[in-house]
Structure 1
Amino acid sequence: MGYDVKFDETTPLIKEIHIQSEHSALHTEFEHHLGVWQAIDVYRPAVFWCIIATLTVVLNGFDNALIGSLISVESFAQQFGRHYGDGYVISAAWLGAFNYAAMLGGATGSLGAGILYDSLGPKRTLGLCVLGSIGAIFLQFLSSTPAVLFLGLLANGILVGFFPVIASAYIGEICPVVLRGIMGSMVNLGFVVGQLIAAGLLKATEKMESSWAYKMPLASQWILPLLLLVFLPLMPESPWWLVRKGRIQKAKKALDNLSTTAVNTMYALANIEETLSNEQSSGEKVNVLDCFKGTNLRRLIIAIMAYQLQPLTGNVFFVTYSVYFFTNAGLSISDAFSLKLWLTIAGFVATLLAWPVMSWTGRRPILIAGTAALTLTMFLIGVLDLDAIRTSSSIYAQSMLMVFATIVYDLSTGPLCFVILCEIPAPRVRGITIAIASILTSLSSVIITILIPYGLNIDELNWGGKVGFVFMVLGALCTTWCFFCLPESKGRTFEELDILFEREVSSRKFEDYDVLEGEEESVIMF
């Protein structure tokens, strides 16, 4: 393909507008013709910085998964629980508090992330949060009472809550179209890697009887922040953020640092300016209320619901509380940790498999199939716990279903929701849109995390696997929403998505709609 453009216009302003429009169109064409491996080659620096951004999410995933498994460690229960029968048990109130502390903090952090992303940019925001996280981990490590531990988890939760928001927005803004699905799903991979590290550490320290059985995993949280402090000063700023702030030359330099010479960064810059000029956003301060105006509201609702698919289909149940569920059901602590480790490995492999699957099928089909499969899995887990069916082998069948649920989750709702968060929000309000979606998802996760212990605890309702029936109902509602309301965004540039939303194209017609056909009759919303 070529980049040669000629103009006959004599008016300088008209000529400049036409040149920018043509350059933007050529860059769009260039991106549409890139294959995955070609894009990885010509955007090597951007791919590297996407990986670094994902490392911040590893800390978030590690932090959330760690406490959910530590509650089953005997020395942890001794320190923060009470006598019950022949052992120790952590009260349902504190059990829920430990698990929702990070989520509650994440809701606050997500709000701050949206505001700081617009004012400071992703680079400085991440740096501040990494430094703060190091201090919050000290509070966790030195805690000796449930209240102090809760405060440490809450403080760190606020800070690491910034990371998924910033990483999703940053990745969406520095990646070419063909890589947005893969790189966006790496946010979920970061969560899974964090969970895998936590599971491995807990398996390694399971035989320790001293307080180091839980203090060592807590202390290991310092490794990633220290590593990130090495790379963050060198990270290029988001060119989209720089253009929104009117820093055009710095945006050009950032684009140069995020790609090889095969990319004409002047054309890439023209594409950014063209897209943002349609929103009249350059230099303007972003207001939270802008997310609720015009087509931004529909895009906000889609982002919120895509993220809500995670807690509503049961990820808190089969990820956060899996070890606690296994031990309550009768597995030994060693078998429970082993199963958790294999469960997390299965999730890691599934997330990797999601990359070629989403590149082949798109976003919408995977999410519809994934939510339907999770709904059925939760139903089966609940059925196996009914008194008329339950046998000594039921726990092993439920355990295998937990593993299956994790595989399905990490093939679908886990990674794909972050891809939707990268692609669907309007460029001008991307950071705040992701922040609002993250806040509401954190609040949903907190509510579910509070309620699950009362369903699982042997001194409360003791429902066991029957908790699955709750997520079966929620999952059915999620599947219905996906079918009617979730648009296909695969292969669309941000400019094309703007056009589709402005024309109010039906969510079910996004994939086949030709934006070059001009004004066609469109079905409003759904």
Structure 2
Amino acid sequence: MVHYDDKPGHAEELENKPGAVFSEKAAVSDFRAEAIEAENVEHNMTVIEAMKAYPMASFWAFVMSCTIIMESYDVFLMGNFVALPAFVKKFGVDAVVDGKAVRVIATQWQSALQVSGQLGALIGVFVAGPLTSRIGYRYATLTGLMLLNAFIFVFYFANSLPVMFAAQILEGIPWGIFIANAPAYCSEIVPLRLRAPATQMLQMFWAIGSIIVGAVTYRYNKQDGAEAYRIPIALQWLFPTPLAILIFFAPESPWWLVRKGRHEEAARSVERLGKKSQVNSADAVSMMRRVVEMEASAKKPSHLELFKGTDLRRTLIVCGVYAAQNLTGNLIANQAVYFFTQAGIKSDTAFALGLITSALQMIFVMLSWILTTYYGRRSIYLWGSAVNTVLLVALASLGLIVSVLFTLGPAPASWVIIGETSAIRLRPLTTGMGRATYYIVEIPCIFLASYMLNPTGGNLGGKCGYVWGGTGLACLVTAYFFLPEMKGRSYREIDIMFKRKIPARQWKKTEIDVNDDE
């Protein structure tokens, strides 16, 4: 077992002792050689070698990614409920469309139900940052899982749209914790070569959540009674408890432990994530200490710090990438079944097509692992966004093709970028702020998307592709000028490149010496 002289909580004490920060930075040389060796080892690993050396890191990233299923499940569930005959019969209103009497969920409630979870998640992401910084990724996630178990009861027994609206807000709070923590945790527990596939699993589980919803609602869409929507709601209880048991036994992020000055625990965590015969935990912890000391500050991490100095640029990148997910037509996917029904397709066929769309998304996410790992984040993001924008404008009514292709490039690449961009000491706060931006942009976009598709609203159908094509083009241009390529970069190198203010388009050809500390 590796032993360190540092007392527990040493890193936290530094934040309250300005003079200690500089003396501690001087002490970096005490473990500099080990840190350089560990970083070189990660750089020289292939993807296969990294998987063999860190098999349990991949497993625990898989487990943490499963928490995303719950938000995805409920987001798509509400999107499908507005097209579910039994739900519409119970909670809908009579309307006349093209001279025909129909029953639909009122436009305002259709939007409200789909935005309610996001309102709760917006609260959750702001809770997640301080909570995780204080008690760690494991216990923050466990807290969210237990809360979700309780809040599902409110949703299940809801007998009116206002109560469902409130229930969704409550459920959204733990979703915010999951979505803020998962990309950060996954990026921290795996070696450099596995950061892309580990974080991209989040998009795959988002697709899995939609597949489960598609299968369940397809099975019950012909039912007339309340069980058609009660049973899909009840199935949410399948996830929190088993996941809570697994995450209770998961190792804490060694980067978080190093931030807290708990170096021996960090070494044990590294040993649990990798094979002892192939991983030098002492060197790995030294590498983490080197980065943590580079970022050491006399202040405790705060949301205000996200918008100062070089951290402002990092925050804007994370927020921009998150916001772009809602501005490139991906919301069409969340309303896929409703989109099909508005196109005149029978409900059972519409649910089947929605299920097929979700399955294709999962396959494309897996293909993106290869593309992003070998061709980089910026390249895949930009080319994927460009194709998306062209298809939105050119095809319009075939906009669902975009929702599938989106999962080949921009969507999975986004998770990698989000996990890599933020500074280690501010990571829980940055990912929370980024996801908050996602919800702030998504909420008005949901109202807009519902209005454009609803026959009692804009009734634009496939023409809504033109709207998303315009916003998608704006996101593409912004990404071209401001999104750097972080493929193959250690967290030390990323820190240095941000501090040197290197322009985004020059990152790929910039070399950072292994001895540099800034």
**Normalising by the residue count of structure 1, what TM-score does the alignment of the two structures yield?**
0.90
The range that moved more, 348-357 or 240-249, is: 240-249
Measure, in 2, the Cα distance between the counterparts of 1:15 and 1:316: 50
Aligned residue number for residue 170 of structure 2: 155
Q: CA offsets per residue over residues 468-498 of structure 1, 9 Å max, x none?
A: 1111110111111111111000010000101
Measure, in 2, the Cα distance between the counterparts of 1:95 and 1:140: 16
Q: 2:384 aligns with which of 341, 355, 370?
A: 370
**Which one-letter code corresponds to 1:37 in the other structure?**
I
The range that moved more, 474-483 or 16-25, is: 16-25
Deviation of the 1:206 alpha carbon: 1.8
SS in 1 for 2:103: strand
Aligned residue number for residue 64 of structure 2: 53
**Which one-letter code corresponds to 1:24 in the other structure?**
A
Q: 2:319 aligns with which of 276, 293, 304?
A: 304
Alpha carbons 1:244, 1:281 under 8 Å: kept: no
Query: Is residue 303 of structure 2 the alignment partner of residue 288 of structure 1?
Result: yes
Distance 1:17 1:365, change over 3 A: closer
SS in 1 for 2:251: coil
SS in 2 for 1:510: helix
Measure, in 2, the Cα distance between the counterparts of 1:281 and 1:316: 40
Query: Is residue 42 of structure 2 the alignment partner of residue 28 of structure 1?
Result: no
Measure, in 2, the Cα distance between the counterparts of 1:241 and 1:217: 37
Query: Is residue 439 of structure 2 the alignment partner of residue 442 of structure 1?
Result: yes
Deviation of the 1:75 alpha carbon: 1.0
Aligned residue number for residue 505 of structure 1: 502
Q: 1:227 aligns with which of 242, 262, 270?
A: 242
Aligned residue number for residue 492 of structure 2: 495
Query: Is residue 181 of structure 2 the alignment partner of residue 166 of structure 1?
Result: yes
Aligned residue number for residue 65 of structure 1: 76
The range that moved more, 74-83 or 129-138, is: 74-83
Once the two structures are aligned, what percentage of the paired residues are identical?
30
Q: CA offsets per residue over residues 90-110 of structure 1, 9 Å max, x none?
A: 111100011111112111111
Measure, in 2, the Cα distance between the counterparts of 1:421 and 1:211: 40
Q: CA offsets per residue over residues 45-77 of structure 1, 9 Å max, x none?
A: 111100110010111111111110111111101
Distance 1:463 1:307, change over 3 A: same
SS in 2 for 1:83: strand
Aligned residue number for residue 469 of structure 2: 472
Q: 1:347 aligns with which of 337, 345, 361?
A: 361
SS in 2 for 1:263: coil
Deviation of the 1:119 alpha carbon: 1.1
**Root-mean-square deviation (Å):** 1.7
SS in 2 for 1:286: coil
Structure 2 gap segments, 5+ residues each:
1-23
Aligned residue number for residue 5 of structure 1: none
**Which one-letter code corresponds to 1:340 in the other structure?**
G
Deviation of the 1:326 alpha carbon: 1.2
Aligned residue number for residue 41 of structure 1: 52
Deviation of the 1:517 alpha carbon: 9.2
SS in 1 for 2:508: coil
Measure, in 2, the Cα distance between the counterparts of 1:101 and 1:450: 11
Measure, in 2, the Cα distance between the counterparts of 1:325 and 1:190: 23
Measure, in 2, the Cα distance between the counterparts of 1:49 and 1:41: 14
Q: CA offsets per residue over residues 79-134 of structure 1, 9 Å max, x none?
A: 22112354421111100011111112111111111121111111001111101111
Alpha carbons 2:72, 2:206 under 8 Å: kept: yes
Measure, in 2, the Cα distance between the counterparts of 1:275 and 1:103: 34
Alpha carbons 1:79, 1:145 under 8 Å: kept: no
Measure, in 1, the Cα distance between the counterparts of 2:151 and 2:279: 42
The range that moved more, 45-54 or 105-114, is: 105-114
Aligned residue number for residue 272 of structure 2: 257
**Which one-letter code corresponds to 1:181 in the other structure?**
A
Measure, in 1, the Cα distance between the counterparts of 2:383 and 2:35: 36
Aligned residue number for residue 482 of structure 1: 479
**Which one-letter code corresponds to 1:456 in the other structure?**
L
Deviation of the 1:408 alpha carbon: 1.4
Alpha carbons 1:309, 1:413 under 8 Å: kept: no
Measure, in 2, the Cα distance between the counterparts of 1:336 and 1:229: 35
Q: CA offsets per residue over residues 138-174 of structure 1, 9 Å max, x none?
A: 1111111000011111110121121121011101111
**Normalising by the residue count of structure 2, what TM-score does the alignment of the two structures yield?**
0.91
Alpha carbons 1:80, 1:144 under 8 Å: kept: no
Distance 1:99 1:17, change over 3 A: closer
Matches within 5 A, 1:124-139: 124-139=139-154
Matches within 5 A, 1:91-490: 91-261=106-276, 262-281=278-297, 285-317=300-332, 319-382=333-396, 398=397, 401-490=398-487
Deviation of the 1:281 alpha carbon: 4.8
Alpha carbons 2:85, 2:222 under 8 Å: kept: no
SS in 1 for 2:406: helix
Alpha carbons 2:38, 2:283 under 8 Å: kept: yes
Aligned length: 488
SS in 2 for 1:84: strand
Q: CA offsets per residue over residues 230-272 of structure 1, 9 Å max, x none?
A: 2121011111111111222221221121111111010010011
Aligned residue number for residue 10 of structure 1: none
**Which one-letter code corresponds to 1:407 in the other structure?**
V
Q: CA offsets per residue over residues 369-428 of structure 1, 9 Å max, x none?
A: 11111111211343xxxxxxxxxxxxxxx3xx3442122110112111110111011111
